[in-house]
Chain A
Amino acid sequence: SQELEQSPQSLIVQEGKNLTINCTSSKTLYGLYWYKQKYGEGLIFLMMLQKGGEEKSHEKITAKLDEKKQQSSLHITASQPSHAGIYLCGADRSSNTGKLIFGQGTTLQVKP
């Protein structure tokens, strides 16, 4: 079974539309990280959430971690072509070594 499940697997939206990507864990998370990856390239850090109920925003991207710390959502407002890419959630499961496990990724296409 998947340790971190992302949904949807892929998403195509019209430019200007809002969208949400979800990341669900079967276990409590000690830290949840959102990264963006362009195909064949490195991971770009977006946001880190550690406290239940925490919400962070940067430009048009907002991420939340639910109270139970088992689900996170990434919301993009008024999407632009520059938002296109693969969004990955990564989780710290309290190994005390910083080990992250990752979801399978959500591929976002934004049509102009």
Chain B
Amino acid sequence: EPEVTQTPSHQVTQMGQEVILRCVPISNHLYFYWYRQILGQKVEFLVSFYNNEISEKSEIFDDQFSVERPDGSNFTLKIRSTKLEDSAMYFCASSGDRRSQPQHFGDGTRLSIL
């Protein structure tokens, strides 16, 4: 069964450094998402992306964050200057349609900021 894959599974970075989290969505999906989950808290929406544009972003998704679909298969989340509070599990998700089909999630990247 097709799945969303995320790399790396764990990323440790010094505060202030840039980090790029990578995702390969399911191949025929058109809608892409990033969510995050701080340890012990809810899964929170960060951004949705369709047709090479951001469709919606949350308050969390400030100028330090950006997303890109550099080619036909990858979808990346970049954090320019990481802060301690960026430490979380980051999930990528994709769907074939934003309403009639569910979002399928990757296994996540655990980001630890030191």
Contact = CB atoms under 8 A, between A and B. Distances in A.
B81 to A, nearest CB: 26
B99 A42 contact: no
B16 interface: no
Given A48-B102, A92-B99, A97-B48, A43 B43 contact: yes
A31 B105 contact: no
B42 A98 contact: no
B107 A42 contact: yes
Contacts of A50: 99-100
Interface string B22-48: 000000000101010000011111001
Contacts, number: 63
A100 B45 contact: yes
Given A31-B99, A95-B56, A101-B45, A45 B104 contact: yes
Interface residues of B, number: 29
A40 B38 CA distance: 11
A102 B42 contact: yes
B25 to A, nearest CB: 13
Contact of B56 (A30, A48, A99, A104): A99
B67 interface: no
Interface residues of A, number: 26
A82 interface: no
Contacts of A97: 48, 50, 55-56, 98
A102 to B, nearest CB: 4
A30 B107 CA distance: 26
Interface in A11-53: 30-31, 33, 35, 40-45, 48, 50
A98 B107 contact: no
A21 to B, nearest CB: 16
Interface of B: 31, 33, 35, 41-45, 48, 50, 55-56, 58, 89, 91, 93, 95, 98-108, 110
Interface of A: 30-31, 33, 35, 40-45, 48, 50, 88, 90, 92, 95-105
